[in-house]
Amino acid sequence: MSNSTELTRAIIYARVSTDAQRDNYSVPVQIENAINYAEKRNYLLVGQKYVDPATGKDVPEGTPDAIAAYVDDHTSMEIKRPGLSQAMAYVAKEGVDVVIVYVLDRFARDSFIRQTLEFEFNKLGARVEYVLGDYEDEHIGETRKDLDDLVAKIENRNRARRVTEGRLKKAKSGLYVGGHPQYGYKLNKSSPGGLEIVTEQADVVIRIFNSFVHNRASIRAIVVSLNQDNIPSPSGKKWGRSTISRILNYEGYTGVYYYNKKKAQRSLTGKIVMPRERNKWIQIEIPPIISRYLFNLAQRRLADNKDHRRRQTKRGRFYLLQGMIFCTRCLKPYVAQTRQAGRGKSVRPSLTYRHRLKEGHCSNKTIAAQTIEIPVWHKVSQLILEPQILLDGYEKSLEQYQQGLGYHRQHLQTLHAEKEKASLKKQALLNSYLDPEIGLTKEEYLITKSQLENTENDILARIQELEGELASIPTPADLETFEAFTSEIREFILGDVEPLPFEKRRLFALMNIKVWIDPDGGAIEITGSFHRTGDDSNLDRGFSNTVLDSCAHRRRQPPWPASHAPAP
């Protein structure tokens, strides 16, 4: 090919819909035909992106036999595509006469999108030419393009409909539908739901849930632990917080997977995902890895982390009651925040707890940390000095916990029996419809079937709601752990030694302490799993700062046990 400057300069553009399709022969076929098209017209192929003509994969510049081409693995319904943007940038910078595309639908299946892209390239001085299709005549060619666009759009929608119908049919048959299975599973058609448990990965999933729920480990701590033990992540790389979050949020680990929960609507800028109606979900039963109860506990803690710790505090600033202060009116938590002193002021920043209308709270209110933390600690320390009150509170909390579990489990068992009964009725209805002697009409069958499905969905919703309530029942701390720690705290209080802030916070967590503030009257109330029912927990807003003053000179003697040392 001659390098004469009189030659027409051209670039190649190819497209497939998904990244997985880069592994088939579509891109090499498009590239090969575009090269032949350019050679017949004596076009000079240029560009700054390169692909292997045999595989269609991107390769670096200078790779032997590489061809200059811009390739996308994006849907044609989007205007913004990486390869297309790079091609436009190159045309604008270097000056190109022609953009070669194999066939119309590789550029766009929608006539509006196709015309928009052609117009953008025309503004840059380049015309779009197609290997397949005679569009040379300006007027007839444009009409043929519109007709081909319409045919391509119809074929694409029919193909999408066939794929959707096939997936729905597969899901209704009780088999997993989707791409690569979630971590912990692999495809196996002979296994329930079409998925088989991968034992090594399932052990990691169980470890993650147990660490998060029972050991109260943070997601960051779980990441560090897994990486230190050299456990491979789903991608084979290092574990990250987003991966742990996806695992903790995957409901399928409980043995129930729902297909058709969401629907996607396309726009010029991408997809918009929206939830479907509950009665259109398809339930698929797969082998469970964890219990529903453990999953609900994890969701409960994730929700608490989101609601109670929405704003991360800066390092070095400790908030004793972060996530523990609530409004009695709107029941929403106060946010821990540092009030800045401002420029040119000698006053240091102060720690506060904040309530704001613009963040969905019922009022604007800011409380200095010392104002609330000092009286709360004073009240809790008084409880610590009365062991019998704590023991009575523990026994009462345990009794309520067991009663709640018993009632919820009994109700849950009843609902599962009702669900099974509804399923049997559906099967009996189908048998009646298929029996010619009964003579059940199709209309009668569909009406009754719809009623049974609505009943079944209502029962399922009640089951999930009850399971959520079951997970929300606070679990009393281990009695020995609680007594041992409170005993140590009690000894130091009696010895006139102020516990460290992190030790106070651990005590509050064991006691499930919550501080309730009335935004109207300013009254403060403390509740917790170990707080005796009926005890007067209202605190005086004008509580003296003598507790703070008397603690200023205290030093810890002797050192605290290593088991209570702060985490590194």
| 10-residue mean pLDDT series, the chain (568 residues) | 64 81 73 92 92 88 90 80 91 92 84 85 91 70 69 69 72 75 87 87 93 85 92 89 91 85 64 74 86 85 67 62 86 78 56 82 85 86 77 69 71 84 85 81 84 82 72 57 73 77 80 83 74 42 30 33 36
**Number of domains into which the chain is organized:** 3
Does residue 414 form part of some domain? yes
Cβ–Cβ < 8 Å for 76, 107: yes
Does residue 21 form part of some domain? yes
Q: Do 61 and 117 fall within a single domain?
A: yes
End-of-domain residue from the set 442, 472, 502: 472
Q: Do 123 and 189 fall within a single domain?
A: no
Q: Do 121 and 199 fall within a single domain?
A: no
End-of-domain residue from the set 119, 139, 158: 158
Does residue 282 form part of some domain? yes
Angle of helix 387-434 relative to helix 479-494, nearest 10 degrees?
150
Alpha carbon of 424 to those of 86, 98, 419: distances in Å? 59, 66, 9
Q: Do 290 and 400 fall within a single domain?
A: no
End-of-domain residue from the set 247, 274, 307: 307
What is the pLDDT at residue 112? 80
Does residue 174 form part of some domain? no
Cβ–Cβ < 8 Å for 102, 29: yes
Does residue 382 form part of some domain? no
Q: Do 195 and 303 fall within a single domain?
A: yes
Q: Do 288 and 205 fall within a single domain?
A: yes
User: CA-to-CA distance for 513 and 529, rounded, in angstroms?
Assistant: 7
Alpha carbon of 71 to those of 28, 44, 56, 59, 116: distances in Å? 11, 18, 8, 11, 19
Residues paired with 526 in a beta bridge: 515
Q: Do 18 and 152 fall within a single domain?
A: yes
* Structure tokens that stand for 235 in this block: 């991608």
235 CB-near residues (< 8 Å, 6+ apart)? 243
Q: Do 34 and 111 fall within a single domain?
A: yes
Classify residue 346 by burial, with Cβ atoms within 10 Å: 0-12, 13-18, 19+: exposed
Q: Do 197 and 143 fall within a single domain?
A: no
* Structure tokens that stand for 349 in this block: 């920043």
Name the residue range of residue 411's domain: 389-472
Q: Do 88 and 214 fall within a single domain?
A: no
* Structure tokens that stand for 551 in this block: 């603690």
DSSP 189: T
Does residue 545 form part of some domain? no
Domain containing residue 217: CATH number: 3.90.1750.20
Does residue 433 form part of some domain? yes
What is the pLDDT at residue 342? 56
Note if the bond before 558 is cis, omega within 30 degrees.
yes
Alpha carbon of 428 to those of 4, 417, 422, 433, 434: distances in Å? 80, 16, 10, 9, 10
User: CA-to-CA distance for 545 and 4, rounded, in angstroms?
Assistant: 89
What is the pLDDT at residue 468? 66
Place of tokens 């701390």: 477
Cα first-last separation, the chain: 67
Q: Do 413 and 454 fall within a single domain?
A: yes
User: CA-to-CA distance for 201 and 247, rounded, in angstroms?
Assistant: 11
Q: Do 195 and 109 fall within a single domain?
A: no
Does residue 269 form part of some domain? yes
What is the pLDDT at residue 126? 93
Model pLDDT for residues 270-302, shown as the tens digit of each residue? 567 777 777 778 888 888 999 888 888 888 888
Model pLDDT for residues 214-245, shown as the tens digit of each residue? 887 888 889 999 999 999 999 888 999 889 99
